[in-house]
Structure 1
Amino acid sequence: METSGIEHKLQSIGLELPTSSPSRANFLPYKQSGSLLFLAGQICEWNGVPQFFGPVKDGYDLTEAKKAAEMCALNLLFNIRQAAGSLDNVVSVLRLGAFVSAPSGFPDGPKIADGASELFINLFGESGRHARTAVCVSSLPANALVEVDAIVEIKAG
């Protein structure tokens, strides 16, 4: 697969896409309807190996927690490329849903979710700005710290 302009931009900020993003259960990684691509939630794992674990603990490092959300976004980007053929075919990132494994009353779930949001905005500019929900939950698959799903608009095939 040829490297896109967006992938060059990703490399220029020191990041890369994983080589795989396997599903953990009986669901599709994405489903397309017209120009809309609905992406299943991705946890903070690298090539199928979990990397960041929840729930958030007292004294957590926000920078590290945001890296977990960024890793979820990289997995989403892998699936977008699989579906669209190239990240350059993204028209707009419409919505992200972020879930952070945290104890009751934890106030910083949205700050952690910013790790995913900031990556999409850095890569796609204004087209990367999106609506978002960020919530804290008691647990996530594979005891992950973060899970992020997305809806994106892609160029018609």
Structure 2
Amino acid sequence: MQSNERDIKLAELASTFGLDIQENPVSGGLYEPVTIDGKSLYLSGQIPKVGDAVVHSGKVGQDVSMDDAKNAAALCALRAAIVLKHSLGSLAAVEKILRINVFVQGVDGFSQQTQVADGASELLHNLFGEVAGHARTAVGVAGLPRNAAVELDMIAVRKR
């Protein structure tokens, strides 16, 4: 995928989720949305928010369906991509998505975290192509900030 195509694709995907790519997701506390060390970018956790509203909240398997949970994971990944764009000026500067961690707030006994995380992986592949071939961890948790159903963090590498 050509570099400029990534920024165009980001804008298209963002509009389908109701996100404005001009708005850089900000931290909700005393931390940075991204820390850059050399070529490595460490992104703080993103929850499925549009504006200030959490779109999918509650426990997957009780309050949130599997389809909505996958959508929440995709929204988290999209918000992380927006942070990358704001940090680097363009997604053309992204060399590789190294790793994502996906946290899923599920009901007791919920074991489909990897299927939920597929929503994020699919969005990243759609946006970045081969560059999105990442390592991944998907885990279940008892709770997440603002009762979000899903949270995602990321490590990416920028081009020199």
TM over 0.5: yes
After TM superposition, the structure 1 stretch with the greater mean CA deviation from structure 2, 88-97 or 19-28, is: 19-28
Shift of 1:24: 1.3
Alignment of 1:1-157 (within 5 A): 4-11=4-11, 15=16, 17-18=19-20, 19-58=23-62, 60-156=64-160
Contact 2:24-2:86 within 8 A present in 1 as well? no
Contact 1:22-1:47 within 8 A present in 2 as well? no
CA distance 1:8–1:56, shift in 2 (3 Å): same
Query: Hey, what's the Cα distance between the residues in 1 that align with 2:12 and 2:50?
Result: 20
Output the TM-score relative to the length of structure 1: 0.89
Output the TM-score relative to the length of structure 2: 0.88
Instruction: Show CA shifts across 1:74-95 (max 9, x none).
Output: 1101110111110111100000
Query: Hey, what's the Cα distance between the residues in 2 that align with 1:32 and 1:11?
Result: 24
1:98 is paired with a residue whose SS is strand
What RMSD in Å do the two structures reach over aligned CA positions? Answer: 2.0
Contact 1:6-1:124 within 8 A present in 2 as well? yes
Contact 2:57-2:64 within 8 A present in 1 as well? no
Aligned residue pairs: how many?
A: 154
Contact 1:21-1:48 within 8 A present in 2 as well? no
